[in-house]
Amino acid sequence: MMHLAYSDSTIEELVAILRRSFPFQGLPYDLLRSISAVSRRIALEERATIYRVGDAADDLFVVASGKIEHALGPSSSATRLVKVVGAGDVIGWTAVLENQRKRLATATCLERSELVRINGNELLKLLEADKPAGDALMSRLASKIIDDFTVPEWVVQVREVMAAPEALRPTGAGLTPNGMDRTLLRLSLWLRNPRPYLMLLGFALLLGFWYLSVEVWKLPRFREMPSVTAVIKEWISRRPTYGLSIYTEEYYKHIWVSTWRVMQAFFLATVIGVPFGLMLGWSRKFKQYVFPVFELLRPIPALAWVPLAIVMFVSSESAVIYLTFLTSFFATALNTMLGVQSIDESYIRAAYCLGADRRQVFRHVIVPGALPFVFTGLQISMGVSWFSLVAAEMVSGQYGLGFVINTSYTMVRYPTIVIGMITLGIVGYSTSALVRIAGNYLMRWRTRELALGAQ
């Protein structure tokens, strides 16, 4: 191995190389400079061996240029043993793995290559000074190892910054590698992050203000508000005063009816809105004819459609779903259209130059390119679905959380109003989170693409 000249002038070059590597993306500039200061850039000739299986695992390498064959040994328990890596990839990651002090792979240069060599212990010391950034880097590194090489999670346990609690580590002869449960691991990592505790602090401040303003200070605007203690007692009571609590069957029926209505409306909005938005962004003629009408109808609130919905649909259930569908459809279609318009024209021209016809360009360039905006639109769509559902259920329907809130108001059941509102928030947040999780899972290819192409 030959060390290249190392001086302060190369720091910025090293920072640029790190930024092109997915695990290091988004880290603070000062931290990247600190990592660069303890790094060394090395040059290797074709067929040079960087390390072999069984060697001491002290350093981690970021590939700056060239191609390297990374061949995992059988002891790694990986499904994919051999992979050719290039610029932006990370090898030698056993240097930051828990209980892995020996190399699990052999790395050989397939052509002249340049790498950034980082000592694992020095890297971990720097990450300890900025734990949120360190957790992000190590989490990305672990995810990339698992995705690229299909290495079991029990192997890919990174040291110190993100080390799993002892109770969650696979120890003992009776515990197989597959015994490490993915959900428990992610939960443990989440609990080591300050975010959940800040979230709890936010809820505590909200409940504290509610309690003080209603029950202690009795502020003028809050005198008629139900107190936090009255709402909680009613919510968890086996014999609720107003007939609705977590122990009543009717409570869950209201939740199920509202959720089912939103799911139907959301499904229709997705099936219709995504193709509609793709056509708005792809076809200029279609947009010229349709978009003015679309923009005219989009600002009209769901409540304004109530009379026409009642006239158009004999069934009140159909009217509720239609009103819920409207706002969801507009959000989905608009974001999909913006996704198509965000695609760089050079990709489309390149596809045509390579011989693709219009249908192939639409399928292989337009649709994948618009997907990030589509999933963003679906998250917004789910949120506005609940908004419009409550408005629809307030004027039509016999069940549902909107019906509960409206009926409780007319019958002066204020604690039940708050119960309905909080339940609506919890269910709405949960459904939006499911859409977000599904989108993140389906868009993992996009994350890897950004990692390789980022500057």
Write phi, then psi, for 70 (nearest 5 degrees).
-115, 105
Identify whether residues 139 and 241 lie together within a single domain.
no
Are 244 and 154 part of one and the same domain? no
Return the higher-pLDDT residue of 453 and 96: 96
Which CATH number do you get for residue 127? 2.60.120.10
- The domain in which residue 106 lies consists of 2-162
Residues 94 and 239 in one domain: no
- pLDDT score, position 449: 52
Percentage of the chain beyond pLDDT 90 is 42
State pTM to two decimals. Answer: 0.61
Q: Which of 117, 144, 162 is the last residue of a domain?
A: 162
Whether 233 and 141 share a structural domain:
no
* Residues 145 and 268 placed together within one structural domain of the fold: no
Cβ atoms of 140 and 82 closer than 8 Å: no
How far apart are alpha carbons 301 and 309 in whole angstroms? 13
Lowest-confidence segment of 120-124, 259-263, 291-295 by average pLDDT: 120-124
For the chain, the 3-state helix, strand and coil shares in percent, each to the nearest 5, are 65, 10, 25
**What is the domain count for the chain?**
2
Considering the domain architecture, whether residues 134 and 244 belong to the same structural domain is answered as no
The residue ranking higher by pLDDT, 110 or 29, is 110
Question: Would you place residue 162 in the very low, low, confident or very high pLDDT band (cuts 50, 70, 90)?
Answer: very low
Of 35-44, 115-124, 165-174, minimum mean pLDDT range: 165-174
For residue 180, what pLDDT is reported? 43
- List b or e across 232-245, with b for residues whose CB sees 16 or more CB atoms inside 10 angstroms: eebbebeebebebb
Per DSSP, the three-state class of 178 is: helix
Sequential DSSP letters for 336-400: HHHHHHTS-HHHHHHHHHTT--HHHHIIIIIHHHHHHHHHHHHHHHHHHHHHHHHHHHHHS-SSS
- pLDDT per position as a tens digit, 141-161: 887 777 777 766 656 666 655
Choosing from 147, 162, 177, the residue where a domain stops is 162
